[in-house]
A = this chain, B = another copy of it.
Amino acid sequence: MKPVTLKQIAGQLNISVSTVSKALKNYPDVSKETKLKVKELAKVLNYQPNAFAVNLRRKESRTIGLIIPEIVHHFFSTIIKGIVNQAEKEGYLVIILQSNESYELEKKQINLLLNQHVDGIIISLANNSTNFDHLNQVVLSKKPLVMFDKIAKLVNCSKVIINDRKAAYTATQHLIDAGCKRIAHFRGSLLPLNSIDRFLGYRKALLDNGLPYDPALVYISECDDTSFEEGKMNTRKLLEDHDDVDGIFISTDLVAIGALTECNKLGVKVPDDIKIIGFSNWFMSKVVSPALSTIDQPGYLMGEMAFKQLYKEITMQKNKESYYPEIIELETKLIVRESTAS
Contacts and interface: CB of A to CB of B under 8 A. Distances in A.
Interface of A: 1-3, 48, 50-53, 55-56, 61-63, 71-74, 77-78, 80-81, 84-85, 88, 93-98, 112-117, 137, 140-142, 228, 257, 261, 264, 283-284, 287-289
- How many copies are assembled? 2
A95 B84 CA distance: 10
Given A52-B61, A72-B81, 15 more contacts: A1-B141, A3-B141, A50-B117, A51-B115, A51-B117, A63-B63, A63-B95, A63-B116, A71-B81, A72-B77, A73-B77, A84-B96, A94-B96, A95-B95, A287-B288
Contact of A84 (B97, B117, B261): B97
Contacts of A52: 52-53, 55-56, 61, 117
Sorted nearest first, the 7 A-B pairs with minimum C-beta distance are: A52-B56, A289-B289, A71-B81, A52-B55, A51-B117, A93-B95, A72-B77
Contacts of A142: 2
B115 A98 contact: no
Contact of A289 (B80, B81, B283, B288): B288
Contacts of A115: 48, 51
Nearest to A264: B289
A114 B49 CA distance: 11
Nearest to A138: B1
Nearest to A303: B71
Contacts of A84: 71, 96-98
A287 B257 CA distance: 8
B72 A78 contact: yes
A257 B291 CA distance: 13
A297 to B, nearest CB: 14
Contacts of A85: 98
13 contacts: A1-B137, A50-B56, A52-B55, A52-B61, A53-B56, A56-B56, A63-B116, A71-B84, A84-B96, A85-B98, A93-B116, A95-B96, A284-B284
A112 B98 contact: no
Given A81-B98, A96-B80, A287 B228 contact: yes
Contacts of A73: 77
